[in-house]
Amino acid sequence: MTIMNQVKTDSSIKTIADNSTVLRIVTAGSVDNGKSTLIGRLLYDSKKILQDQLENIEAAKERYGNEKINLAFLTDGLRAEREQGITIDVAYRYFTSDKRKYILADCPGHIQYTKNMVTGASTADAAIILIDAQAGFIEQSRRHTYLSLLLGVSHVIFAVNKMDILDYSEQSYRDICASISDWMPKESQSEFYFLPISALEGDNIVNKSTNMPWYKGQALIDLLDNLHINPKTVFDETRLPVQWVIRPQAEAYRDFRAYAGTLASGEIRVGDELMVLPSGLYSKVKRLQVAGEDAESASPGLSISVLFEDDIDISRGSIICSKSKPAKSDNRINAILTWLNSKPAQTGKRYWMKHSSRWVKVMIEDLGNELNLHSLEFEENSDNSLNLNGIAKVSLNCSEDIFYDLYEDNRTTGSFIIVDENNFETVAAGMII
């Protein structure tokens, strides 16, 4: 199967972008693949940086004796990072092209910081996987790609960087694309794209490269401008995890009791009859507030407050959901777990689980098959362990029921994190299957 008919190429994309929406992008790849330089080039060449930012990176150029401006400094937010010349945290930048708005998340490439990539990809619409043209499609790039697919990123763009070092060789580029295409999971629902770039020289970032006349596609910014933002989920059932119970103490609000949270999915309208878990009771929405103002309806992603006609038992950690299709309820779940801690996972050890707005105790009952990043098959876990950055299917036993949906249906109610109860470090991220 050729690359052209396995992936959706950028030259075939129609202008279907919704300019009123924000495209969230995560950049990932191995160390020194040029992620920060790529984002810096996007900002610099499109003239979307402030004068003081330009002055800062020019000063850094003089300080470190560089011949060229180091565009990576536009996304390396911490001074310690700049002094080391690496990116060690997720750097977020807000960017506007002529067609749409963007939120850029530049993630570190070091293997010990894979958890930062999980953070960036969990809310992304598109992932840019930087591939070093000299090194090819290495294991860390495979890991970042698989995590992007696992986390439901709709569009995955493979940017083959440092083409200038290979004298812009078309054959080298095609060999790398073929190796990625051969490895790619055949059942993935994501759209895939390839393009050759040089972040350092600016080839195919904002402007088409004259050094690669054999490449007939668009520059990266044109590709991004025309990507269609798929809904995070077609799941339209109401899910409102309660984060806060609002009960003002003022006499004027003595009868005011509202339940606040971010609406994860579905819509809520005044007059809707909804179910509350864990009580299983129903009540109609008497009043709805968005940003402190009364509203007739609310859509997913908004922070809202709901008041009901009846005084029923609702507290932080409860979930307000559709009466016709409430969330699932169980204290035992199966999940795909990405281990993010240097200490291996332990069966039988107690951890904390943070799911939606609830904290519950959890124990790993079974460490099932672990993912082989080369074959993309889940293979038998012979030593029943899971080490840093390992991905495995697991069985979990919670101290009490949680109210959830499958991750493939709902990113919010289908995901969780696991925290060490002794030092409160986040040790794993999970997706319910």
| Between residues 77 and 286, the one the model is more confident about | 286
Torsion of CA 74, 75, 80, 85, to 10 degrees: -80
Planar angle of CA 343, 140, 4, nearest 5 degrees: 150
Query: How many Cα atoms sit within 13 Å of 65 on the Cβ side?
Result: 0
Segment among 112-116, 139-143, 232-236, 419-423 with least mean pLDDT:
112-116
Full-model pTM: 0.74
- pLDDT reading at 179 higher than 90: yes
Residue listed under structure tokens 């950690």: 317
If you average pLDDT over every residue of the chain, what do you get?
82
pLDDT of residue 102 exceeding 80:
yes
Assigned token pair, 169? 């060789």
Which 8-state DSSP code applies to residue 295? -
Pairing of β 244-246 and β 297-298: unpaired
Q: Which of 93-97, 99-103, 296-300 has the highest mean pLDDT?
A: 296-300
CA separation for the pair 35, 119 (Å, rounded): 16
Residue 291's pLDDT is what?
A: 85
Work out the pLDDT band at 91, boundaries 50, 70, 90.
low
The pLDDT confidence band at residue 66, using thresholds 50, 70 and 90, is low
Percent of the chain with pLDDT over 90: 47
pLDDT value of residue 87:
40
Q: Specify the pairing of strand 101-106 against strand 91-96.
A: antiparallel
The CATH class for the domain spanning 328-432 reads mainly beta
Is the model more confident about 69 or about 15? 69
Kindly report, residue by residue over 245-285, the tens digit of the pLDDT: 998 766 656 667 899 999 999 999 999 999 999 999 999 99
- Look at the block and give the residue holding tokens 């919670």: 398
Is a pLDDT exceeding 50 seen at residue 298?
A: yes
d(CA 29, CA 109): 5
Q: What mean pLDDT is predicted for residues 55-81?
A: 52
At 197 the pLDDT is: 96
Give the Cβ contact number of residue 260 at 10 Å: 16
- What integer pLDDT is reported at residue 232 of this predicted model? 53
What number is the average pLDDT over the span 357-373? 90
**pLDDT of the residue at 11:** 35
CATH topology of domain 3-225: Rossmann fold (3.40.50)
Least confident of 72-81, 137-146, 331-340: 72-81
Task: Judge whether residue 158 has pLDDT over 50.
Answer: yes
Find the range with the poorest average confidence among 187-196, 325-334, 390-399: 187-196
- With 90 as the cut, is the pLDDT of residue 297 above it? yes
pLDDT band per the 50, 70, 90 thresholds, residue 28: confident
Q: How far apart are CA 112 and CA 115, in angstroms?
A: 8
Higher pLDDT, 201 or 374: 201
pLDDT, average across residues 102-124: 69
Question: For residue 112, what is the DSSP state?
Answer: G
Domains 3-225 and 328-432 share a fold: no
What is the CATH superfamily name and number for domain 239-322?
Translation factors (2.40.30.10)
Domain range summary for the chain, segments of one domain joined by +: 3-225, 239-322, 328-432
